[in-house]
Each structure stands twice: as structure tokens, then as C-alpha cells.
Amino acid sequence: MRKIAQPEDVLLEAQKLYPKKFHEVSESTYMDEVYRKAAALSGIREYVKSTKGDVNVADIAGGSGRQGRIIRSMLKDEAGRVVIHNVDISREELSKSKGDERIVGEIMHLPFADRSMDFVFMNNIPIPISYVRNYVANMKDEAGRKERMLEMLELAVDSVYKLDMLEGARVLKENGVMVVSGKYIKQTGESIQKSLGELPLKVNKFEVVELEEGIIPLWRKYGIEIEKPTFMVVSMKKVGDVGDLADFYQQMLRTSLEQLMRVEGFEDILEEMHKKFERRNNKPRTS
């Protein structure tokens, strides 16, 4: 059995377990209504009309560029002034993106200077370690260690979420707009603002979007349970500096993972997840 030596390795293990073909969900035409709503709530059309020069947009985990294409179709004659920087970890998906600046990268280390973007879009951003949390939440707890594992996993997931948001805020100009979308789990604008804590982001607009039923089996195919095709879209304005918050949440993440590694049986759970993941994908085990 593999042994985890450093807290960072927990994140690497979680990344390996996350469905690799999740692009099939995000690239489905079933999701287009979310992208249209995201473009509308961003206010980009009004912004382009009221300003001069290029408008820089970062589309994080943008895949084949569906969000960018919808933005351009909405802007029509003004679309030429918008520079869309599509960042994704998949070279294959980026190769399908037309008319964008295509960049291989990931959300925690965006290849942009501070305060360089007018808009940042984050649609269905995955947090791989949440896959581990969900697995632990559904397992039996014969040894009585589940509660402690979940406590640390929740802290880790929240830290990764905050770090993702902070990285997006870092590259935004002052008063720039970030748009986030994802599965609707009874969020409200107020609850999202509360979850942001001290992050320099202020919720501006929030809406719920109902999609077609066909999106449900696509999400379930990749192990993400969804009962209704209901999604939320929220736009936020940057209202301050990131400061040292990233350092704070990096330390919180490391601490939660260190404590998680001390819980007896956690490594066995990761091993069990790997076996199930590889059986599902018909891949031979490599050590």
C-alpha cells in the first residue's frame, strides 16, 4: 500500500481520483443556459459600451471555450475589443477553442499579473478533494473515525475554495467582476456572501437557472450526485486587496491535511478509492 509522506500528497491523490473527462459535462449544450446567464449577470455588455480599449476576460477551466463564444455572440459588433484568456489543464480541450488566448494552467496558479483582468469567469470549478469528502461522508463508520475525517476534509475543501476565489480576485482589477456558477444547493446571495468571509468580493447579483433533465445523467456518470437540473450563477465585484489572505488559507489547508493524515485508516480509504476508481475505468494498477 502506498504511504503518504506530505500533506500536499493528499491533494495529489485527490486529483488522481477526480473524473478526468469532466469536460463532457461542462461542454454539453445542456449547460449553455448557465453560460448565457453568467455573461448577462457579469454586465460585460454594458461595460464594453461604456469603456474604451481592450477588455480582458479570464475564463478559468474554459475547456473548448463555450463561455467565450457566448460572450462574443452577445456583444456582436463590439466582440473584437474583448480578449478572452482561456485557461484549462487540458490541451485537447483548448485545441477546440477558437478566437481565444489559450493557456495551459490551473486555477490556483493563474498565469496573469495582479489586477490585469476586467472579468473572471469560473463555471463549475472542481475541487477534487471534495470527491474524497463525499466518499467519506457515505461510508460506514464502524471504527468511529468518520466524524474526525469529515471535520478535517471540510476545512480542506473550504480552504481550497477560498484559495481559488482569492486567486481569481488577485488577477481582477479594482471593481472588476467575477462570475461563479455551480450546482444549486439552496444557496442565496446572502449565504454566498457569508461563505466568502473576509475575501475582498461583494455579491452583486444572484440567480437560479433550471436546465433540461438531460444534464442529470451526465453529472452522475462522473460520480457527482445531482437530483434536479438546477444551477446557480452569482456575480461579485472586487472591493479590496487580497493581501495576506492566501498565506492564511494555505496554512489552514496544510494544517487540516496534516491532522487528516494522523487519523488512523485514512490512507486505507484512499487506497480503497483508487481500487474502485481503477476498476470503473478498467485501468491496470501501477505502483
Strands 117-123, 55-60: parallel, antiparallel or unpaired by DSSP? parallel
Q: What's the whole-model pTM score?
A: 0.86
CA–CA separation, 25 and 28 (whole Å): 5
Using DSSP's 3-state secondary structure scheme, residue 233 falls into strand
Q: What is the pLDDT of residue 6?
A: 58
All cell numbers assigned to 143: 471504527
Domain boundaries, the chain: 7-280
CA–CA separation, 136 and 88 (whole Å): 28
Burial group, residue 198, by CB count within 10 angstroms (0-12, 13-18, 19+): exposed
Q: Average pLDDT over the chain, rounded to whole? A: 85
Q: What is the pLDDT of residue 15?
A: 64
CA–CA separation, 181 and 201 (whole Å): 15
Q: What is the pLDDT of residue 208?
A: 96
Strands 55-60, 82-88: parallel, antiparallel or unpaired by DSSP? parallel
Is residue 45 scored above 70 in pLDDT? Answer: yes
Q: What is the pLDDT of residue 22?
A: 64
Give the CATH number of domain 7-280: 3.40.50.150
Q: How many CA atoms lie within 13 A of 111 on its CB side?
A: 12
188-219 pLDDT, tens digit per residue, is 999 999 999 999 999 999 999 999 998 888 88
- Contact partners, residue 233, CB within 8 Å, separation at least 6: 34, 37, 38, 41, 179, 180, 181, 206, 207, 208, 209
* Residue 287 pLDDT grade (very low, low, confident, very high; cuts 50, 70, 90): very low
CA–CA separation, 195 and 192 (whole Å): 5
Q: At what angle do helices 7-17 and 129-137 cross, to 10 degrees?
A: 80
